[in-house]
Amino acid sequence: MELPLQEDEQSMQSLKLSLKQRQGIYLASGSTHPKLAEDIATFMGLELGLVERKQFPNTEQYVRYGNSVRGQHVFIIQALAASNGCSVNDSLMELMLMIDAARRSSAREITVVAPYMAYSRQDRKARGREPISAAAVIQMLQGAGADRLVSVDMHSPQTQAAFYGPFDHLMAEPLLTEALKVRVKADLSSFIVVSPDGGRAKVAEDYAGKLNIEVVHMPKSRDVNDSSKIIRPDFIGEVEGRTCFLIDDMIDTAGTLVSAAKTLKDSGARRIIVGATHGLFSFPALERLRDAPIDEVIVTDTVPLEDAQKILGNRLFVLPSASVIGRALSEIATNGSVSKMFNDRNNR
Ligand code: R5P
């Protein structure tokens, strides 16, 4: 007999749309991460709509929908990440043009799906005369004509406030928790969750709660004049002989997680697994992770991962995110509930 599915597990089941629902939807992909867009389309039982694009000799971009979007709910999927020689700003500009083209072509509704929201770390003025880049980007998307935003594990979920309209904040937690359950089962007595800085404390506590294991918090600060320099104040934690799961929202240069892993190792940790939603892996992240005392690196595919497998080999585990994103888009398209996918806890 099959066991009944838990609510989290149910939410990851495919939600294919009916023919009538499909007819009102135009799912379009930007050029940064077409594989993820295709996976989402397959999950929803849809095909990606055509988008023509070209670049002018001076690098300005051009986009055009290949079919009519009049009266359609247009979902534009674009990972705001660097990929294939395109910068983050190129991907942002392409997205702006796609929103503008949809608006001027009489789309009924425009939902922007940015699984990784660029610039989200500059979410406040830490010093005078700085921008709040996270708010500036979100307001640009709204100014171009986006009616709704969807993103996954924003650096600061409260940045949603910069958008005057619906903002669906998704979490990769169900995916990572599933991957961890197997590992915890094999290593129950020694497994702990570790937050690598104050910003992840609540998230780490959520994981610990779900997995029914302890949590340890590590302090971190950055040099105010050089943010790549990480300062790890003395750390005294009960980590000797433990398997530590370090959780973060993103791995950019891997400075945060590698410095935390080294400190844990020096404090006697036995195994170290690092997990993050977004594997940005800016240089020298992959080399740092490869050379660090880290046994496994678990990320989702919200951004394209290019060379990661080549450098990290079988220490890298990539969790497909199309089930979470596709399910949420189906809920949105059918006026269902996104919150129920996360038991109303998608606010962390
Ligand atoms: C910072 O507070 C974030 O949550 C991440 O820890 C950080 O941005 C990761 O960057 P990096 O990998 O370059 O340390």
Residue 14 is predicted with a pLDDT of: 62
Q: If you search the block for the tokens 């509704």, which residue do you land on?
A: 109
- For 280-290, what is each residue's pLDDT tens digit? 999 999 999 99
Residue 3 is predicted with a pLDDT of: 33
- For 233-252, what is each residue's pLDDT tens digit? 666 678 999 999 999 999 99
Residue 15 is predicted with a pLDDT of: 66
Query: What 3 state SS string does the chain have?
Result: CCCCCCHHHHHCCCCCCCHHHHHCEEEEECCCCHHHHHHHHHHHCCCECCEEEEECCCCCEEEEECCCCCCCEEEEECCCCCECCECHHHHHHHHHHHHHHHHHCCCCEEEEEECCCCCCCCCCCCCCCCCCHHHHHHHHHHHHCCCEEEEECCCCHHHHHHCCCCEEEECCHHHHHHHHHHHHHCCHHHEEEEECCHHHHHHHHHHHHHHCCEEEECCCEEECCEEEEEECCCCCCCCCCCEEEEEEEEECCCHHHHHHHHHHHHCCCCEEEEEEEEECCCCCHHHHHHHCCCCEEEEEECCCCCCHHHHHHHHEEEECCHHHHHHHHHHHHCCCCCHHHHCCCCCC
- Counting atoms of ligand 1 from 1, which one is nearest the CA of 256? 14
pLDDT band at 302 (very low <50, low <70, confident <90, very high): very high
Give the Å distance between the CA of 327 and the centre of ligand 1: 28
| β-pair type (25-29, 73-77) | parallel
- For 18-30, what is each residue's pLDDT tens digit? 777 888 999 999 9
Residue 339 is predicted with a pLDDT of: 93
Residue 306 is predicted with a pLDDT of: 87
- Counting atoms of ligand 1 from 1, which one is nearest the CA of 155? 4
270 and 242 Cβ atoms separated by less than 8 Å:
yes
Instruction: Answer whether residue 70 shows pLDDT above 80.
Output: yes
Give the Å distance between the CA of 155 and the centre of ligand 1: 9
Domains identified in the chain and CATH numbers: 9-171+322-342 (3.40.50.2020), 173-319 (3.40.50.2020)
- Burial class (CB within 10 angstroms; exposed 0-12, middle 13-18, buried 19+) of 1: exposed
Give the Å distance between the CA of 251 and the centre of ligand 1: 6
Q: Which of 78, 17, 13, 81 is nearest to 47 (CA)?
A: 17
- Counting atoms of ligand 1 from 1, which one is nearest the CA of 200? 4
340 and 168 Cβ atoms separated by less than 8 Å:
no
What predicted TM-score, i.e. pTM, was given to this entire model?
0.93
Q: How far is CA 198 from the centre of its chain?
A: 19
- Burial class (CB within 10 angstroms; exposed 0-12, middle 13-18, buried 19+) of 267: middle
Say which residue, 129 or 220, is predicted with more confidence: 129
Distances in Å between the Cα of 96 and the Cα atoms of 146, 229, 280, 315 are 9, 34, 21, 37
Rounded distance, CA 151 to CA 157, Å? 10
Distances in Å between the Cα of 171 and the Cα atoms of 99, 268, 339 are 24, 31, 10
Instruction: Answer whether residue 9 shows pLDDT above 50.
Output: no
Question: Which residue has the least CA distance to atom 6 on ligand 1?
Answer: 256
77 and 37 Cβ atoms separated by less than 8 Å:
yes
HSE at residue 100, side-chain half, CA atoms within 13 A, is 12
212 CB neighbour count, 10 Å cutoff: 9
* From 250, 253, 281, 286, mutation site for ligand 1 pocket: most ligand atoms within 8 A of C-beta: 250
- For 93-139, what is each residue's pLDDT tens digit? 999 999 999 999 999 999 999 999 999 999 999 999 999 999 999 99
Say which residue, 232 or 5, is predicted with more confidence: 232
pLDDT band at 277 (very low <50, low <70, confident <90, very high): very high
Q: Which of 35, 54, 185, 220 is catalytic?
A: 220
Instruction: Answer whether residue 1 shows pLDDT above 50.
Output: no
- For 129-149, what is each residue's pLDDT tens digit? 999 999 999 999 999 999 999
Residue 237 is predicted with a pLDDT of: 73
- Counting atoms of ligand 1 from 1, which one is nearest the CA of 254? 12
Q: Which of 91, 98, 105 is nearest to 33 (CA)?
A: 91
Question: Which residue has the least CA distance to atom 10 on ligand 1?
Answer: 252
Question: Which residue has the least CA distance to atom 5 on ligand 1?
Answer: 250
pLDDT band at 228 (very low <50, low <70, confident <90, very high): confident
Catalytic residue status for 125 = no
Residue ranges lining ligand 1, Cβ < 6 Å: 121, 155, 197, 199, 248-256
* From 223, 230, 248, mutation site for ligand 1 pocket: most ligand atoms within 8 A of C-beta: 248
pLDDT band at 167 (very low <50, low <70, confident <90, very high): very high
Give the Å distance between the CA of 200 and the centre of ligand 1: 10
Give the mean pLDDT of 39-58.
96
Instruction: Answer whether residue 7 shows pLDDT above 70.
Output: no
Q: In the numeric block, which tokens belong to residue 246?
A: 């370090």
Q: Which of 267, 325, 330 is nearest to 293 (CA)?
A: 267
Give the Å distance between the CA of 285 and the centre of ligand 1: 11
At 268, give phi and psi (nearest 5°): 100, 5
